[in-house]
Amino acid sequence: MAATAISIISISSSSPFTPKSQCFLKHNNKLHHQIPLSSFTTTALKTSKTTTTTTLSTRRLSCSASASVSSSSTLPSALLFDCDGVLVDTEKDGHRISFNQTFQERELGVAWDVELYGELLKIGGGKERMTAYFNKTGWPANAPTSEQERKEFVASLHKQKTELFMALIEKKLLPLRPGVAKLIDQALSQGVHVAVCSTSNEKAVSAIVSFLLGPERAEKIQIFAGDVVPRKKPDPAIYLLAASTLGVEPSRCVVVEDSAIGLAAAKGAGMKCIITKSGYTADEDFVDADAVFDFIGDPPEERFDLAFCGSLLEKQYVS
């Protein structure tokens, strides 16, 4: 029987990755193999009705932050970042703390511990998160009873929480994750659109971009956040809006996410998606991701760069 060609993605790097670092690579939308980056090889699969054989290919892709991207290299039309957990690991010691401080100041008798908040993060959006929690556990005694008043009540809690969170960001108490500024600078220098697409409040996202990435970068980065779309992640609406606004094809966009709901949104929009795991998402299911890393990374611990993002747009086949 003739073997069926399966599309593969290859990865290697001239950067000195740590031997323990591993990346998950996407194969034919279903199959993943865990490949140590220290091996710098590609596993190509051939299948037939009766046999499955594995061959090794030494086809290599340069992936160095210090190497310039040649004019012939494939580049994404847009690089789209989630915010919380991707730009900054904000959830446990940022948003959660701000929610709890709000609950305390409003005398609601509610506190979200680390484990509970991790479960609540499966719900996209802070207002939606609070509503789901109160619906399940019971609304506070001092909360209104009508549906419309409860919406307004939750909105007021979220506004107060956002102000507290922004104060943390303005004090720069939460740092950027490794490699974020590097990757954004590479994209901007090559004329690639950069945007941040988040379910978080627009003011909070803008504060992160302005205070942590700096005003020079911030003025070149578009933000799509909060209630800019009626349906939040895992719905793909925010990524489709970003592509439409930027005037690019979704298939030419590469998304950097950290969660399963963000991954679902990116893939639902028809985009490539790289996962950089965060504190709360390390054990989530990323089987549909195009690649999975622990973080982006700066040299000498770089995990990937703009050239690698572009390589995801190039389909390679093994006959």
Cα–Cα nearest to 308, from 6, 10, 7, 37: 10
Q: Per the omega criterion (within 30 degrees of 0), is the bond before 234 cis?
A: yes
Q: How many CA atoms lie within 13 A of 175 on its CB side?
A: 3
Rounded CA-CA distance 267/162 in Å is 29
Strand partners for 85: none
> Which of 116, 142, 198 has the alpha carbon at shortest distance from 165?
198
Catalytic residue among 84, 89, 235, 258: 84
Spatial CA neighbour of 45 closest among 25, 74, 23, 61? 25
Is 185 an active-site residue?
no
Six-digit token pair at 63?
A: 């992936």
Distance CA 117, CA 114 (A): 5
Site of tokens 């290859």:
10
Distance CA 39, CA 11 (A): 10
Give the tokens for residue 151.
Answer: 């919406």
Residue 227 known to be catalytic: no
CB atoms within 10 A of CB 48: 11
Pairing state between β 78-81 and 42-47: unpaired
Which of 82, 89, 294, 305 is catalytic? The answer is 82
Tokens linked to 235? 């719905």
Catalytic positions are 82, 84
